[in-house]
A and B are shown apart, each in its own frame.
Chain A
Amino acid sequence: MLNMMSKFGYQQLPSWAHPQHPIMKNVMGHGRAQGWRVFVVRFLAWLLGMAIAVGLGYTIASRNNQDPSVREVLYWPLVAGQILAMVLGVALTANVVAVERQKQTWDSLKLSLTGVSLTLRARWISVYFRLWWLLAAITIGRLVYIAYFLQDMAAFQGRALDLYISGIDPEISLDGAVLLLTALLTAFILQPFIEVGLAAAIGVIVAVFTHTRSVVILGLLLLIGLRLAISISALVVGSTVFEASGGVTLDLYQMDSADAWYRLMLTSIEGDMGLKLLNLETLGQIWADVKNSVYIGGAVLVAVFVIGTIADILVRFSAWRATKPTSF
């Protein structure tokens, strides 16, 4: 069954991203097949890692609240995991050209746009395979958030959403609200993958534009610093609109609409990737306080799509740039 599902999943991928594609095989390495013992040890280590992360999350959450909710416990481990995934995304691709040059294959690859394009794309997509353990943990945590969100929606005999959209500006039908929440949930699942994709694409760009090893390392450190700075700034901005234990701050009501939108979007895209937003009570408060904020789910999905498109363009541009004779 699992085999069938993974086969179906792989069929949806572009051919060059398939693990059986020759270039992907080359990129991923030809390591010997590992026995089940190695698999079990790795799986146990992964479970242990998640348990430690949840334990740390509980310690942090219980400092503010003696009886923290599951969402509060998972919040900081997920935020840390998401930032780590983005940093690793950059780090795993920033040296792609250096690796090919070390293998003395770069000059021959550069001769054709197809060769370079496939190699860079394969290096880019391989980040997802290398980070599966982290992305899987993040996705599980985020699915727990979604489960609680659906539980919130089921309150009041399934009428919770009717109640929360009652009296908001602009008025919206229940069907419209469901569609916008669908967009929010879709964006919520995709966001870590898209952000890692963008980080990895930026790493590829750095790899193409930097020549020497020392510059690669410098560029990488700069990018990691920049990534951390953006995430931390977005989280700080988020703390001006979201309360630590859920709900929104008093300030949100007093902000003008544009300012509130900017803060909500920045923290939901670059900060915690929508963790604070995906709470029906918090959303209800935002809808009551900020005009037109009922559309935030759609706006986040559009942002996620734009980020995904930018990542794709960056990888294509890197391949085109790499074939230019002036690049090296």
Chain B
Amino acid sequence: MRFLVKIILTLGIISGGSLGLVVGQRIIRPTDLEHTLAIRDECGLNCWFHIPLDGTTNRRDVQHYLDDIGATYTGINRPQINFWVKQGSGEIVLEEGIAVSSCFFPRATTLGDTLATFGEPDGLWLEYQGIRYSARYSGQVYLRYEMFYQTKAVRLAGYIRLDTNLQRPRLSPITAVDELCTPLPIRDDEFMGTRVWTEWQGFNAPLETFR
């Protein structure tokens, strides 16, 4: 019996240590999460532009893009753009020279990444867009859902895709995000205000919970 207790304690310490090391990496703030960008000078432009994201783009690169079109980067006090250095492409929308939103079309970003970056949402709203599409190579059929994601600090809008093969679709951390925009364009505030926000139910809850 003493041997059993001893071995349980030893294995417990080893297992706990391994789990602690894995979970501990969350303390290290990754560089590819969130960058803040703001525009001060009104360029008088109502424009948008695309940025290719190769996984190494940073906000200095984005500043160059903005400089090219006459907008200036200042740092704070203006509408912020949460910018991800992910692979894929980005789009920045300017209204009267102010960057009011940015959208990202990531190649491999998940809902788990979104929560890891922006925190747990206070509200989440999903709506099936009536769009089914199949992956080019695997032939896998997906359903496209529009998503609105609200935290105390930020509002996001985007699209996620769900596997049609699932018997009971769940909102999993590995759910792919096809598009993510932050913050929502100002003009959409009225539209957003009319929405009934569902309280966040956690991952793996059935999808119908969020409808």
List residues of A whose CB falls within 8 A of some B CB.
12-14, 17, 146, 150, 153-168, 174, 178-179, 181-183, 185-186, 189-190, 249-250, 253, 281, 284-285, 287-289, 301, 305, 308-309, 312
Give every chain A residue within 8 A of B22 (Cβ-Cβ). 150, 153-154, 158
B interface secondary structure, majority: helix
Give every chain B residue within 8 A of A190 (Cβ-Cβ). 7-8, 11
Chain B residues numbered 182-211 whose CB sits less than 8 Å from any CB in chain A: 200-206
15 contacts between A and B (CB under 8 A): A12-B7, A17-B3, A156-B115, A158-B24, A158-B25, A158-B26, A158-B27, A160-B173, A162-B116, A167-B203, A174-B23, A182-B16, A190-B7, A250-B167, A308-B1
- A151 smallest CB distance to B (angstroms): 9
- Cα-based distance from A157 to B29 in the complex (angstroms): 8
Q: Are B4 and A153 in contact (CB under 8 A)?
A: no
- A247 smallest CB distance to B (angstroms): 9
- Asked if B153 is at the interface of the complex by the 8 Å CB criterion, the answer is no
- Report B100-119 CB contacts with A as 1/0, cut-off 8 Å: 00000000001011011000
* B167 to A, closest residue via Cβ: A250
- A250 smallest CB distance to B (angstroms): 5
Interface centre among A158, A284, A305 (most CB of B within 10 A): A158
Q: Are B23 and A288 in contact (CB under 8 A)?
A: no
* B170 to A, closest residue via Cβ: A285
Give every chain B residue within 8 A of A157 (Cβ-Cβ). 25-26, 28, 30, 33, 113, 116
- Asked if B50 is at the interface of the complex by the 8 Å CB criterion, the answer is no
- A103 smallest CB distance to B (angstroms): 28
- Cα-based distance from A186 to B17 in the complex (angstroms): 12
- Cα-based distance from A17 to B12 in the complex (angstroms): 23
Give every chain A residue within 8 A of B173 (Cβ-Cβ). 155-156, 160, 163-164, 284
- B176 smallest CB distance to A (angstroms): 13
Out of A150, A281, A287, A288, which one reaches B19, CB within 8 Å? A150
Instruction: Given the known inter-chain contacts A182-B15, A185-B15, A288-B204, please indicate yes or no for A281 contacting B172, CB distance below 8 A.
Output: yes
* B1 to A, closest residue via Cβ: A312
Interface centre among B8, B30, B174 (most CB of A within 10 A): B8
- Given A158-B26, A284-B203, 8 extra CB contacts under 8 A: A150-B18, A156-B173, A167-B203, A178-B16, A182-B19, A185-B18, A189-B15, A309-B4
Out of B3, B23, B203, which one reaches A158, CB within 8 Å? B23
Give every chain B residue within 8 A of A301 (Cβ-Cβ). 8
Instruction: Given the known inter-chain contacts A156-B173, A160-B173, A253-B168, please indicate yes or no for A178 contacting B206, CB distance below 8 A.
Output: no
- B40 smallest CB distance to A (angstroms): 32
Give every chain A residue within 8 A of B30 (Cβ-Cβ). 157
Q: Are A12 and B3 in contact (CB under 8 A)?
A: yes
Q: Are B201 and A167 in contact (CB under 8 A)?
A: yes
* B11 to A, closest residue via Cβ: A186
Q: Are A179 and B16 in contact (CB under 8 A)?
A: yes
- Asked if B6 is at the interface of the complex by the 8 Å CB criterion, the answer is yes
* B2 to A, closest residue via Cβ: A14
Q: Are B11 and A166 in contact (CB under 8 A)?
A: no
Give every chain A residue within 8 A of B6 (Cβ-Cβ). 12
Q: Are B112 and A163 in contact (CB under 8 A)?
A: yes
Give every chain B residue within 8 A of A309 (Cβ-Cβ). 1, 4
Q: Are B1 and A167 in contact (CB under 8 A)?
A: no
- A246 smallest CB distance to B (angstroms): 12
- Asked if B139 is at the interface of the complex by the 8 Å CB criterion, the answer is no
Give every chain B residue within 8 A of A14 (Cβ-Cβ). 2-3
Q: Are B116 and A163 in contact (CB under 8 A)?
A: yes
